[in-house]
Amino acid sequence: MFTRIGPVFLGHFLMTISFGMINPVLGLYAQGFGVSVGQTGFLFAIGAGVSIVGAPLVGRAAERIRAEYICIVVFALSSVSICGTYFSDSFGELLFWRFVGGVHAAGIPTLLAALSASVPRETRGVVASWIQGLIPVGFVVGPALSGLFLNSISGQGIETAVAVAGALSCLASLVFAVAIRNALASEAPPAERKVHAWSQQPGNGTTTMLSIVVVPVIVSVTALFIYSGVFSVLYRWVSLSEGSDTAVIGFAYSFFSLCNASAQLFVFPLIHKKVESKRLALYSIGLLALGALLQVAGSGTVNLMVSIAFLTTGAGLCASACTDWILLSIGDGAKTGLFGTLGLINGVAKLLSPIALSYGIAYLSLGTLFGVVTLLASTALAVAMIHSVLRPARAV
C-alpha cells in the first residue's frame, strides 16, 4: 500500500516544508515594501480565511469532478502562490498570492478523504493520520531551513529562503501530480473491521453524515481547540514558567510540534489495530486532561516539558483516532464533501482558540487557564464515554 501512496506523502510533505519556510519570513519580506507590522497580519488572515471558506467548496467540487484532478489543481495553485510571492513587486500582489495560497489548507481535508477511500478500510485511519502528522513536521523543518538561510546569507537571506521555497513547491507539485493519479487509480477492496451499526443508516448527504459523526466531531474539535490555543500562547506560557530564555522557548516549540507529529506518524499506526478508535479517542482526551492538570499542579522545566508532551501527544492521538472513527462510521467512499465541511469546522476552531486563550492568559492566572483547559477536555471525555455506552460497536 505505502509503495503506491508513499510518493503522495512525499509531495504533501515537500509542499508543507515550502509553506513552513515562507511563513516565518513573510512578515519581514512584506516590510520590504514599506508596510507596517500590523498590516502584515493581513497576509496570514487572508490565507486562513480562504482555507476556512474554501474547504467545503473544494470538497464539493471533488464530488463532481475526479478527486485527483481537484487535488492536482490545489497543489499547482499552492506552488504558483509561493513563486508569485517571490516575484511580487507590491504589498497588494503579496496579498493576492496569499489569497491563492490559502487553497492549499482548504484542499487537505479533500486529499485526506480521497486518499483514505483508495485503501482498505483497515488502514484508512493510518493514511489519514500520516497526512495530518506530516504537517507539524514540515512546520518544524521549514522554519529551520529559513533560519539557516537568514543566518548564512547576509542581506539576501529572506529572498533566498522565499526562492528556495518556491523551487521546492514546484518539485512538490510535480511529484504529487504524478503520484496522486496512480494512488487514486482504483480503490482497494474494503477489509473486515468493526464499524458502528449506525453507520448503516440510509442517506448519504453531507447533513445526514454530519449527524452520524457528531460525537467524534465534538471530541476532535475540542482537542483541536485546546491544541491550537495552547500553541498560540506557548511563548507566554513558557515565559511565565521559565523566563524569556530563547533557547528554552525554541526547544519548547519544536518539542510541541514533534510530539504531536510522533503521535500521528508512529504511535497511532502501532496501536490502532489493537485499540478501537472510539476507545483510543477516550484515552487521548485523558492524556490532554492530564497534561493540563500537571501544569496546574506543578512547576519547573521538567514538569513543563512533560505537560507539553501529554497535551500534544493526546491531541495528535485524538485527531487520528477521531478521523478513523469518522471514516469507519460513514462506510465506503471518499465523502470529500463531508470532510470539506469538517475542514470548515476545524478552521473556525483554529481561528477562535488563539483569540480565546490569548485573552485567557491575559486576564487569568496560568493555573486558572489550564484549569479551564482541563474542564474542556473532561467535558469531551464525558461526551465520548456516554456515547460509548449508548452506542456500542459491532462487527459487520
pLDDT along the chain (396 residues), means of 10: 85 96 86 78 85 92 90 96 93 92 93 89 90 93 88 74 94 96 64 40 52 81 86 77 69 88 94 88 86 77 85 92 87 76 87 80 74 77 66 44
Q: Are 162 and 17 part of one and the same domain?
A: yes
Q: Are 97 and 244 part of one and the same domain?
A: no
Q: What is the pLDDT of residue 78?
A: 96
Q: Are 225 and 350 part of one and the same domain?
A: yes
Q: Are 160 and 199 part of one and the same domain?
A: no
Domain for residue 189, yes or no? Answer: no
SS3 (DSSP) at 297: helix
Q: What is the pLDDT of residue 72?
A: 96
Domain for residue 388, yes or no? Answer: yes
Judge whether 376 and 226 are in contact, CB under 8 Å.
yes
Domain that holds residue 32: 2-183
Phi, psi of 248 (to 5 degrees): -65, -40
Q: Are 103 and 209 part of one and the same domain?
A: no
Q: How many CA atoms lie within 13 A of 387 on its CB side?
A: 21
The pLDDT tens digits of the residues spanning 321-377 come to 999 988 888 876 657 888 888 898 888 888 888 888 777 777 777 777 777 777 777
* Single residue among 163, 183, 203 that ends a domain in this structure: 183
Q: How far is 44 from 29, CA to CA, in rounded Å?
A: 13
Q: What is the pLDDT of residue 390?
A: 56
Q: Please state the domain count of the chain.
A: 2
Q: Are 171 and 258 part of one and the same domain?
A: no
* Single residue among 183, 208, 232 that ends a domain in this structure: 183
Domain for residue 188, yes or no? Answer: no
- Report the CATH number at residue 357: 1.20.1250.20
* Single residue among 150, 183, 216 that ends a domain in this structure: 183
Domain for residue 170, yes or no? Answer: yes
Output DSSP code: residue 191: P
Q: What is the pLDDT of residue 314?
A: 92
- CB burial readout 195-218, b (16+ within 10 A) else e: bbeebeeeeeebeebbebbebbbb
The pLDDT tens digits of the residues spanning 60-98 come to 999 888 899 999 999 999 999 999 999 998 989 999 999
SS3 (DSSP) at 155: coil
Domain for residue 269, yes or no? Answer: yes
Q: Are 39 and 149 part of one and the same domain?
A: yes
Domain for residue 287, yes or no? Answer: yes
Q: Are 231 and 323 part of one and the same domain?
A: yes
Q: What is the pLDDT of residue 265?
A: 94
**243 Cβ contact partners less than 8 Å away, ≥ 6 residues apart:** none
Q: What is the pLDDT of residue 186?
A: 53
Please give the single-letter amino acid code of residue 24: P
